Amino acid sequence: VWRKITNADKWFAVRLYRKIGENFNLLAKEAEIERFRLIVLSGLENALKLIEGEPPHLESARLLTALANYIYWSSYVPADASRDQGEMEHYARAAVAMAEQLDAPVELSAALEALANIYSAQGLIRERMQVALRRQTLSLDPRFTDRREQVNILCQVGEALCSVGDYTQALTHLL
């Protein structure tokens, strides 16, 4: 699609592929997931090729987060269940590193959420809790203006604290 648009730059294509991937993760029906899975994966891989060798960029960090999330959510679909957990963690960690380098708290928080999901799937509940607490600290940054995401982070911190048995501290985040 993006090649047909005149004067479209590479970042437009990366953004388009990423947004398609992010929306794909929101699909609820298995039939829809199966129908579009390979198309979405192809787009994300194309976007990954486009950012290869590029200096750090916000869209690159977002793309790496979207790839980690794609693999995480695809692991629930039998056809993709064999995807390597290491690949998922690699993309999440790369997104975290890039967002840190760019000093971008919103993108860093999203990348950390992907990493927390991975830790949760691996049963690494203490690591998940540490990531959730780090996200909470990031959400206090004045550049972090998404109130809905701040509430979401508080809930995730509460859930993470509950999962390690710290119910008293969890209540302060959940109430």
Residue ranges in the chain whose pLDDT is less than 70: 1-8, 25, 27-30, 76-85
Q: Using CA atoms, how far apart are residues 73 and 30, in angstroms rounded to an integer?
A: 11
Tokens representing residue 108 in the block: 């860093």
Tokens representing residue 157 in the block: 């911190």
State the pLDDT at residue 7.
Answer: 57
State the pLDDT at residue 4.
Answer: 57
Contact of 119 with 125, CB cutoff 8 Å: yes
How many C-alpha atoms does 18 have within 13 Å on its Cβ side?
A: 20
State the pLDDT at residue 77.
Answer: 59
State the pLDDT at residue 82.
Answer: 46
State the pLDDT at residue 3.
Answer: 54
User: What Rg value do the Cα atoms of the chain yield, rounded?
Assistant: 17
Q: Using CA atoms, how far apart are residues 147 and 99, in angstroms rounded to an integer?
A: 20
